[in-house]
Amino acid sequence: MNRQKITLIEPTSELEAEFLAMAEEYQAAGDQRYESAHENFSAYLERLSNTARGANLPPGIVPENNFWLVLDNRLLGRSKLRHWLTPELEYEGGHIGYDVRPSERRKGYGALLLELTLKRAKNLGLSRVLLTCDTDNIGSARIIEKNGGKHGGQAISKRSGKLISQYWIKL
């Protein structure tokens, strides 16, 4: 992996085709997380921009920045950084969520994506961040721990009913 060519950028319409190709990979894997982007990419980008600014947020939703991990105009993954936590996010969800494109997993990009997002969290003024993952997601747990995550507890997911692990990272 050539880290020098990899950048963490804000979402841009210039990478629409690349983002939609990544979304198709997720769909092929049975994951519909980017379905709304497929339906209307411009509206998707506008929603991300509004969320970053805290504009037009429904109750209980906090501002968050989204970032794309890019290598030579190839989208490798995405992260989101929430500006603060609600009680629900402190239980499950945390400050940072990230995912790596299915075809790019197990190449070290997840650890780099989290590392770069942690720098953005520090720039936002956060002194520590919470991340959560399914307890059986060993890969994600390793990525979090590699980036300084200290296990803070476990809980049952209110979304999936699965056991989740909670990790804190000091910045």
Task: Sheet containing 64-71: give its strands across.
Answer: 6-9, 64-71, 74-82, 96-100
pTM of the full structure = 0.94
C-alpha span between 109 and 105 (Å, rounded) = 7
CATH superfamily of 3-125: Gcn5-related N-acetyltransferase (GNAT) (3.40.630.30)
Give the pLDDT score at 7: 97
Cβ–Cβ under 8 Å, residues 57 and 112: no
Measured between alpha carbons, how far is residue 42 from residues 4, 126, 141, 152, 159 in Å? 30, 30, 34, 39, 29
Give the pLDDT score at 38: 86
Query: Domain residue spans in the chain?
Result: 3-125
Cβ–Cβ under 8 Å, residues 131 and 152: no
For 80-136, write each residue's pLDDT tens digit: 999 999 999 999 999 999 999 999 999 999 999 999 999 999 999 999 999 999 999
Q: How confident is the model at residue 1 (pLDDT cuts 50, 70, 90)?
A: low
